[in-house]
Amino acid sequence: MDKTTSGVYGLDPLLGGGFPKGRNILVSGACGTGKSIFSIQFLYRGVLDAEEPGIFVTFDEMPEKIRQDMLNFKWNLKEMEDNELLAIVDATSARAGVPSEEEHAILPGQLEMDKLLVDVLGVARSIGAKRIVFDSIPAMATQLDNEGAIRKAILKVSYILSRSGLTSIMTSEIPEQTLGSSTAMQFSKYSVEEYVADGVILLNFLGVGSGATRTLYIRKMRGTSHSMEIHPMEITDKGIVVKKIEEVFK
Protein backbone atom coordinates (compact mmCIF):
# COMPACT_ATOMS: atom_id res chain seq x y z
CA MET A 1 0.00 0.00 0.00
CA ASP A 2 1.23 3.50 -0.85
CA LYS A 3 2.26 5.51 2.20
CA THR A 4 2.60 9.21 2.84
CA THR A 5 4.37 10.95 5.68
CA SER A 6 2.34 11.83 8.75
CA GLY A 7 4.42 14.98 9.11
CA VAL A 8 4.89 14.26 12.82
CA TYR A 9 8.52 13.74 13.80
CA GLY A 10 9.16 10.19 15.02
CA LEU A 11 5.71 8.86 14.07
CA ASP A 12 6.33 7.42 10.60
CA PRO A 13 8.63 4.61 11.85
CA LEU A 14 5.86 3.53 14.24
CA LEU A 15 3.48 3.26 11.26
CA GLY A 16 5.74 1.21 9.01
CA GLY A 17 6.59 4.28 6.93
CA GLY A 18 3.65 6.66 7.35
CA PHE A 19 -0.10 6.90 6.87
CA PRO A 20 -1.68 4.73 4.15
CA LYS A 21 -2.66 7.12 1.36
CA GLY A 22 -6.32 7.95 0.95
CA ARG A 23 -7.28 6.68 4.40
CA ASN A 24 -9.26 8.40 7.16
CA ILE A 25 -7.51 8.83 10.52
CA LEU A 26 -9.25 9.71 13.79
CA VAL A 27 -7.13 11.73 16.25
CA SER A 28 -8.75 11.84 19.69
CA GLY A 29 -7.74 13.40 22.96
CA ALA A 30 -8.72 15.60 25.88
CA CYS A 31 -8.30 19.36 25.96
CA GLY A 32 -4.67 20.42 25.55
CA THR A 33 -3.29 17.13 24.28
CA GLY A 34 -2.20 18.59 20.91
CA LYS A 35 -4.91 17.53 18.45
CA SER A 36 -4.97 20.77 16.46
CA ILE A 37 -1.18 21.05 16.36
CA PHE A 38 -0.98 17.43 15.18
CA SER A 39 -3.49 18.18 12.42
CA ILE A 40 -1.85 21.39 11.20
CA GLN A 41 1.56 19.70 11.27
CA PHE A 42 0.13 16.90 9.10
CA LEU A 43 -0.89 19.52 6.54
CA TYR A 44 2.14 21.82 6.81
CA ARG A 45 4.77 19.09 6.55
CA GLY A 46 2.66 17.41 3.89
CA VAL A 47 3.24 20.42 1.65
CA LEU A 48 6.96 20.64 2.43
CA ASP A 49 7.89 16.96 2.57
CA ALA A 50 5.42 15.29 0.20
CA GLU A 51 4.30 18.15 -2.09
CA GLU A 52 0.70 17.42 -1.08
CA PRO A 53 -1.56 20.50 -0.75
CA GLY A 54 -4.10 20.37 2.06
CA ILE A 55 -7.27 21.82 3.55
CA PHE A 56 -8.07 22.62 7.18
CA VAL A 57 -11.80 22.81 7.92
CA THR A 58 -12.20 24.54 11.27
CA PHE A 59 -15.37 24.41 13.35
CA ASP A 60 -13.68 25.44 16.62
CA GLU A 61 -11.27 28.34 16.04
CA MET A 62 -11.18 31.46 13.90
CA PRO A 63 -8.70 31.07 11.00
CA GLU A 64 -6.73 34.20 11.90
CA LYS A 65 -6.15 32.89 15.40
CA ILE A 66 -4.92 29.58 13.95
CA ARG A 67 -2.46 31.44 11.70
CA GLN A 68 -1.15 33.46 14.63
CA ASP A 69 -0.78 30.45 16.94
CA MET A 70 1.11 28.42 14.35
CA LEU A 71 3.71 31.18 13.97
CA ASN A 72 5.00 29.95 17.36
CA PHE A 73 6.40 27.01 15.37
CA LYS A 74 7.49 29.31 12.51
CA TRP A 75 4.76 27.79 10.33
CA ASN A 76 3.71 30.53 7.90
CA LEU A 77 0.28 29.25 6.88
CA LYS A 78 -0.62 32.50 5.11
CA GLU A 79 2.29 32.09 2.69
CA MET A 80 1.11 28.59 1.80
CA GLU A 81 -2.44 29.89 1.34
CA ASP A 82 -1.21 32.65 -0.99
CA ASN A 83 0.54 29.99 -3.07
CA GLU A 84 -2.60 27.80 -3.12
CA LEU A 85 -0.84 24.98 -1.29
CA LEU A 86 -3.11 25.26 1.75
CA ALA A 87 -6.68 26.39 2.30
CA ILE A 88 -8.42 27.11 5.60
CA VAL A 89 -12.20 26.75 5.40
CA ASP A 90 -13.95 28.84 8.05
CA ALA A 91 -16.98 27.01 9.43
CA THR A 92 -16.57 28.61 12.87
CA SER A 93 -18.17 31.89 11.80
CA ALA A 94 -21.19 30.04 10.41
CA ARG A 95 -21.60 28.21 13.73
CA ALA A 96 -21.58 31.56 15.49
CA GLY A 97 -24.06 32.98 12.96
CA VAL A 98 -21.77 35.80 11.84
CA PRO A 99 -20.30 36.66 8.42
CA SER A 100 -16.73 35.68 7.59
CA GLU A 101 -14.03 37.70 5.84
CA GLU A 102 -12.19 34.53 4.82
CA GLU A 103 -11.74 33.55 1.16
CA HIS A 104 -13.06 30.07 1.94
CA ALA A 105 -15.99 30.12 4.32
CA ILE A 106 -19.25 28.34 5.00
CA LEU A 107 -22.08 30.86 5.02
CA PRO A 108 -24.39 31.19 8.06
CA GLY A 109 -27.34 28.89 7.63
CA GLN A 110 -25.48 26.61 5.21
CA LEU A 111 -23.95 24.12 7.64
CA GLU A 112 -26.17 21.32 6.34
CA MET A 113 -23.86 18.35 5.85
CA ASP A 114 -24.38 17.69 2.12
CA LYS A 115 -23.87 21.36 1.23
CA LEU A 116 -20.82 21.61 3.46
CA LEU A 117 -19.18 18.58 1.86
CA VAL A 118 -19.86 19.89 -1.65
CA ASP A 119 -18.29 23.25 -0.76
CA VAL A 120 -15.26 21.71 0.94
CA LEU A 121 -14.57 19.24 -1.88
CA GLY A 122 -14.89 22.12 -4.34
CA VAL A 123 -12.08 23.91 -2.50
CA ALA A 124 -10.08 20.67 -2.54
CA ARG A 125 -10.36 20.44 -6.32
CA SER A 126 -9.43 24.09 -6.78
CA ILE A 127 -6.00 23.66 -5.11
CA GLY A 128 -5.41 20.01 -6.02
CA ALA A 129 -5.56 18.95 -2.38
CA LYS A 130 -4.30 15.54 -1.29
CA ARG A 131 -4.93 16.00 2.45
CA ILE A 132 -7.80 17.34 4.54
CA VAL A 133 -8.56 17.88 8.23
CA PHE A 134 -11.97 18.25 9.93
CA ASP A 135 -11.44 19.89 13.33
CA SER A 136 -13.50 18.86 15.20
CA ILE A 137 -16.34 16.31 15.05
CA PRO A 138 -18.08 17.46 18.29
CA ALA A 139 -18.08 21.07 17.05
CA MET A 140 -19.35 20.00 13.62
CA ALA A 141 -22.13 18.02 15.28
CA THR A 142 -23.56 20.86 17.39
CA GLN A 143 -25.95 21.77 14.55
CA LEU A 144 -27.58 18.32 14.64
CA ASP A 145 -30.59 17.44 16.75
CA ASN A 146 -29.79 14.01 18.16
CA GLU A 147 -27.09 11.37 18.34
CA GLY A 148 -28.72 9.31 15.61
CA ALA A 149 -28.36 12.22 13.19
CA ILE A 150 -24.81 12.84 14.42
CA ARG A 151 -23.76 9.25 13.81
CA LYS A 152 -25.30 9.35 10.33
CA ALA A 153 -23.40 12.56 9.56
CA ILE A 154 -20.11 11.05 10.77
CA LEU A 155 -20.65 8.01 8.57
CA LYS A 156 -21.36 10.26 5.59
CA VAL A 157 -18.27 12.41 6.12
CA SER A 158 -16.04 9.34 6.53
CA TYR A 159 -17.51 7.67 3.43
CA ILE A 160 -17.22 10.76 1.22
CA LEU A 161 -13.65 11.42 2.33
CA SER A 162 -12.69 7.81 1.63
CA ARG A 163 -14.26 8.00 -1.84
CA SER A 164 -12.49 11.29 -2.56
CA GLY A 165 -9.03 9.72 -2.31
CA LEU A 166 -7.87 12.36 0.19
CA THR A 167 -5.76 11.32 3.16
CA SER A 168 -7.83 12.76 5.97
CA ILE A 169 -7.82 13.46 9.70
CA MET A 170 -10.90 13.97 11.84
CA THR A 171 -10.41 15.13 15.43
CA SER A 172 -12.63 14.27 18.38
CA GLU A 173 -12.59 15.50 21.96
CA ILE A 174 -12.88 12.94 24.73
CA PRO A 175 -12.60 13.13 28.53
CA GLU A 176 -9.16 12.79 30.05
CA GLN A 177 -8.58 9.18 31.00
CA THR A 178 -6.05 6.92 32.68
CA LEU A 179 -4.60 4.30 30.37
CA GLY A 180 -4.47 0.85 31.91
CA SER A 181 -7.23 1.54 34.43
CA SER A 182 -10.19 -0.78 34.94
CA THR A 183 -12.47 1.73 33.18
CA ALA A 184 -13.04 1.01 29.50
CA MET A 185 -11.04 3.33 27.27
CA GLN A 186 -12.94 5.89 25.21
CA PHE A 187 -11.70 6.73 21.72
CA SER A 188 -14.34 9.16 20.47
CA LYS A 189 -17.18 11.43 21.50
CA TYR A 190 -20.01 9.43 19.91
CA SER A 191 -18.58 5.88 19.98
CA VAL A 192 -18.88 5.47 16.22
CA GLU A 193 -15.90 7.41 14.86
CA GLU A 194 -13.34 4.77 15.78
CA TYR A 195 -15.23 2.11 13.82
CA VAL A 196 -15.64 4.06 10.58
CA ALA A 197 -12.09 5.46 10.61
CA ASP A 198 -9.24 3.47 9.08
CA GLY A 199 -6.89 4.55 11.83
CA VAL A 200 -7.21 5.73 15.43
CA ILE A 201 -4.56 7.74 17.28
CA LEU A 202 -5.13 8.63 20.92
CA LEU A 203 -3.34 11.61 22.50
CA ASN A 204 -3.26 11.67 26.28
CA PHE A 205 -1.45 12.76 29.44
CA LEU A 206 0.46 10.36 31.66
CA GLY A 207 0.74 11.64 35.23
CA VAL A 208 -0.42 14.96 36.65
CA GLY A 209 0.94 18.44 37.26
CA SER A 210 4.55 19.25 36.44
CA GLY A 211 5.32 15.54 36.15
CA ALA A 212 2.78 14.93 33.36
CA THR A 213 3.99 13.56 30.04
CA ARG A 214 2.07 13.77 26.80
CA THR A 215 1.59 10.39 25.14
CA LEU A 216 0.56 8.98 21.77
CA TYR A 217 -1.04 5.58 21.25
CA ILE A 218 -1.87 4.06 17.86
CA ARG A 219 -5.00 2.04 18.56
CA LYS A 220 -5.44 0.83 14.98
CA MET A 221 -4.22 1.52 11.47
CA ARG A 222 -5.68 -0.53 8.64
CA GLY A 223 -3.37 -1.41 5.79
CA THR A 224 -0.09 -1.29 7.72
CA SER A 225 1.65 -2.80 10.71
CA HIS A 226 2.15 -0.36 13.58
CA SER A 227 3.47 -0.02 17.10
CA MET A 228 1.10 -1.05 19.89
CA GLU A 229 3.05 0.70 22.64
CA ILE A 230 2.26 3.99 24.37
CA HIS A 231 4.87 6.51 23.27
CA PRO A 232 5.84 9.76 25.00
CA MET A 233 5.63 12.87 22.86
CA GLU A 234 6.60 16.50 23.25
CA ILE A 235 5.36 19.75 21.75
CA THR A 236 8.57 21.57 20.80
CA ASP A 237 9.35 24.77 18.90
CA LYS A 238 9.22 22.76 15.66
CA GLY A 239 5.98 20.92 16.44
CA ILE A 240 5.12 17.52 17.86
CA VAL A 241 7.94 15.03 18.32
CA VAL A 242 7.21 11.41 19.25
CA LYS A 243 9.95 10.03 21.46
CA LYS A 244 11.27 6.61 22.30
CA ILE A 245 10.32 5.50 25.80
CA GLU A 246 13.94 5.21 26.90
CA GLU A 247 14.62 8.82 25.84
CA VAL A 248 12.10 10.15 28.35
CA PHE A 249 11.97 7.61 31.19
CA LYS A 250 15.64 7.07 31.91
State how far the Cα of 120 lies from the Cα of 88, in Å rounded to an integer. Answer: 10
State how far the Cα of 101 lies from the Cα of 56, in Å rounded to an integer. Answer: 16
Task: Say if CB 194 and CB 59 are below 8 A apart.
Answer: no
In this predicted structure, what is the pLDDT of residue 137? 94
Nearest to 27 by CA among 248, 217, 231, 228: 217
pLDDT digits (tens, 9 = 90+) for 183-200: 778 899 998 999 999 999
In this predicted structure, what is the pLDDT of residue 208? 67
Supply the DSSP string of 51-108, one letter for each residue: ---EEEEESSS-HHHHHHHHGGGT--HHHHHHTTSEEEEE-HHHHHT----SSSBPPT
Which residues, at least 6 apart from 112, have a Cβ–Cβ distance to it below 8 Å?
A: none
| 3-state class (DSSP) for residue 57 | strand
Task: Say if CB 199 and CB 23 are below 8 A apart.
Answer: yes
Structural domains of the chain sorted by starting position, each given as residue range(s) with its CATH number in brackets: 3-248 (3.40.50.300)
Residue 149 one-letter amino acid? A
- The length of the chain in residues reads 250
In this predicted structure, what is the pLDDT of residue 245? 75
Per-residue confidence of the chain (250 residues) as pLDDT tens digits?
Answer: 899 999 999 999 999 999 999 999 999 999 999 999 999 999 999 999 999 999 999 999 999 999 999 999 999 999 999 999 999 999 999 999 999 999 999 998 888 889 999 999 999 999 999 999 999 999 999 878 788 888 899 999 999 998 999 999 999 999 887 666 667 788 999 989 999 999 999 999 887 665 688 999 999 999 999 999 999 999 999 999 999 776 665 5
In this predicted structure, what is the pLDDT of residue 180? 63
